[in-house]
Amino acid sequence: MDQFQLKSRRLSGYLRLVACIGFTGLVLVALLTMIDGVGRWLTLPRIPGFNDIAQISYAIVISSCFPSLLLRDQNVVIRFLGKGIKGRTNYWLEAFGNLLTLAFFAILVWQFYLLTIDLQVSNRTSPTLEFPIAPWWWIITFIMTITVPVQVLVVFDSFCSAVFNTPTRLPKEESEGV
C-alpha cells in the first residue's frame, strides 16, 4: 500500500467520524420526536422549540455525510455508459463526472457562505426559541467546505486513473450503480 492509499484511508476514517457525529444528532432528534409524540399522546404540552432544534439538526446531519460519501464514491452516479465502453474511456468518463461534481459542490459551498453571511449580518434567530442561527450555519458551512478539497482529491485520483489506465486508489465500497 503506497502513501496515497494510506493517507486516503486515514482521511476516510476521519470523515466517517464526522458522519457518525452528525448521525448522533439524528438519533437525538429521533429521541426528542418520540418524547414529544408520547407527550402529546398523554396530553402533555409540546416540547417548546422542537421544530427549531430539528431543522438545525437535520442540516448538520445531512452536511456531515457529504465529505465521506464523496471520498468513498457513494454519491448518485449513472455508470451504464462507462460499463458498456470499459477501459480508458470509462476512466475518462469518471474523471469528467468527478470534475462536474467538484464544480457543483464549489458553487454550493459558495452559496452556503453567502447564506450564512446573510444570516449573520441580519442577525436572524429561530422562530420559537429565538436563538441565533448563524453560528449553527457556520458549522454547517464549514462541514460543507470540507467537501471541496475532498472532491479535489477524488478528481486528482480519477484523472490519474484515466491517464495511467489504472483503477482508483481511493477507498471505495462496492455500491449499486445504474
Q: What is the pLDDT of residues 11-62, one digit of tens each?
A: 888 888 888 888 888 898 899 889 988 988 888 888 888 888 888 989 999 9
- Check pLDDT > 60 for residue 176: no
Set of cell numbers at residue 33:
420526536
The answer to whether residues 64 and 16 touch, using CB atoms and an 8 Å cutoff, is: no
State whether residue 79 is helix, strand or coil.
Answer: coil
CA proximity to 64, closest of 154, 1, 145, 152? 145
The answer to whether residues 23 and 62 touch, using CB atoms and an 8 Å cutoff, is: no
Query: Over the stretch 76-121, which tens digit does the pLDDT of each residue have?
Result: 666 666 667 767 788 888 889 899 999 999 999 999 999 999 999 9
CA distance 79 to 84: 9
Domain ranges of the chain: 3-164
State whether residue 118 is helix, strand or coil.
Answer: helix
Q: How confident is the model at residue 166 (pLDDT cuts 50, 70, 90)?
A: confident
